[in-house]
Amino acid sequence: MKSVFNYILIAFLIISGNSFAQQTPASEQSEAVTIVGATAHLGNGEVIENSLIIFENGKLTQVMDATTTKMQYRGQIIEAEGKHVYPGFIAPNSTLGLVEIAAVRPTLDQDEIGEILPNVRSLIAYNAESKIVESMRPNGVLMGQIVPRGGLVSGTSSIVQFDAWNWEDAVVKEDDGLHINWPEAYSRGRWWRGEDPNLKPNKEYTEEIQKLADFFNEAKAYLAGDQDYTNLPYEAMEAVFSGDKKVFVHVNGEKEILDAIQFKKDQNLDGFVIVGGYHATGVARQLKENEVPVLVNRPHSTPDMAYEDYDYPYKLAKLLQDEGVLVGLESSGQMERMNTRNLPFYAGTVAAFGMDKEEALQLITLNTAKILGIDDNYGSLEKGKSATLFISEGDALDMRTNRLTRAFIDGREISLESHQTELWKRYSEKYENQETKESE
């Protein structure tokens, strides 16, 4: 009994030690803000070397070249010569705010029991005070799509901004998409259990796809009829069939992608997005013809196949873009919540392997906003859009120079402090003091 109590106490201390609230969310914008002299990277491929940016009431009212205008400055003036301004970066396909401590089960809200769960909504489980979410902001990642995991149909995602009191304040687009984990046509045996590790056909592949098709057809029949009972999974599909909710299919293989595109046609689905798409280059023509965009997984990985170029993951986004496919970057995988803060540096890697720097920037700004359906208000610095942006001392896609000095979400100036920045300052002072003593 004493042993059980000790385990409970340790778990409580771990949770309480990591549950301190994040920085207090910013208040609504109270006066206009004018940023002068910065190099503005608009997120749509354009750059203004000497920019004038004005925003008030959370909206951009002017984005122009300061050398060609006599526009009167308004409100608070930020002199930003030598610095760079960017739209806030957007992290799609993320589980931020759904898991705080992987080793503590009560903090895991990314997966629910069941196989087909379109009615599961990630938004209501989102923890706006997550310390991990807070650590995104110093790198310019200011928004994200919060996605459930697991099963054949994981559930419904929502898009949030990363400076809020609760999920109600955080939401940017509620229930934006349904997430499907497409079955694999081939599988490998578990070598650690003595199984053949080579690729072999998945005998249940066709059955799994049929199960998915049956569910979609049953949901259509339910919604078309006059039922005297309520079926929540079927009810959740109404927005999918109307096109108000996008369908995100997590899939990597060529055959699987082609089968997913056929499923899109059979079910007459709009807003269809491939997530992952590791082998999508082989079916890029079909993706373009069917107007299916791809959220490519982070490039910091090794090739899956022995015959692939060593730098294939680095240049995958460019290869697809060159074929006319709309591409964005996502960061799921091992330690994905922590690694999401590296999103701008993933884009920097893509630029280092052939893509134009401003086009690489679009992978985490306007392209992603288009794929998520929020480009009317986010993703680029354009008049009338949200003033969600940040100022950096250098190139935001370079981890050496991306040092934020100011950041705004919907015009509200947010804190850039986090547990990590506090530790950085603490230990910087420690070693600075140590160096001073040694030099005396």
**Predicted pLDDT of residue 319:** 97
Average pLDDT, the chain: 90
Per-residue pLDDT of 5-49, as tens digits, reads: 454 444 444 444 444 556 789 999 999 999 999 999 999 999 999
Residues 365, 375: contact at Cβ < 8 Å? no
pLDDT at position 251 is 96
Residue 103 has pLDDT above 80, yes or no: no
pLDDT in tens, 170-206: 999 999 999 999 999 888 777 787 777 787 888 889 9
298-341 pLDDT tens trace? 999 989 888 889 999 999 999 999 999 999 999 988 888 888 99
Three-state SS annotation for the chain? CHHHHHHHHHHHHHHHHCCCCCCCCCCCCCCCEEEECCEEECCCCCEECCEEEEEECCEEEEEEEHHHCCCCCCCEEEECCCCEEEECEEEEEECCCCECCCCCHHHECCECCCCECCCCECHHHCCCCCHHHHCCHHHCEEEEEECCECCCEEEEEEEEECCCCCHHHHEEEEEEEEEEECCCCEEECCHHHCCCCCEEECCCHHHHHHHHHHHHHHHHHHHHCCCCCCCHHHHCCHHHHHCCCEEEEEECCHHHHHHHHHHHHHHCCCCEEEEECCCHHHHHHHHHHCCCCEEECCCCCCCCCCCCCCCHHHHHHHHHHHCCCCEEECCCCCCHHHHHHHHHHHHHHHHHCCCCHHHHHHCCCHHHHHHHCCCCCCCCCCCCCECCEEEECCCCCCCCCCCEEEEEECCEECCCCCHHHHHHHHHHHHHHHHHHHHHC
Greater confidence (161 vs 304) lies with 161
CATH 3.20.20.140 fits 89-378, yes or no: yes
Determine the pLDDT at residue 13.
44
Of residues 57 and 333, more confidently modeled: 57
pLDDT digits (tens, 9 = 90+) for 213-271: 999 999 999 999 888 889 999 999 999 999 999 999 999 999 999 999 999 999 999 99
| Residue pLDDT, tens place only, 260-295 | 999 999 999 999 999 999 999 999 999 999 999 999
- Please give the pLDDT value at position 21: 54
The pLDDT of residue 7 is 47
Domain ranges across the chain = 89-378
Of 17-31, 379-393, 424-438, which range is least confident? 17-31
Query: CA 244, CA 222: separation in Å to the nearest integer?
Result: 18
Asked whether the beta carbons of 10 and 123 are under 8 A apart, the reply is no
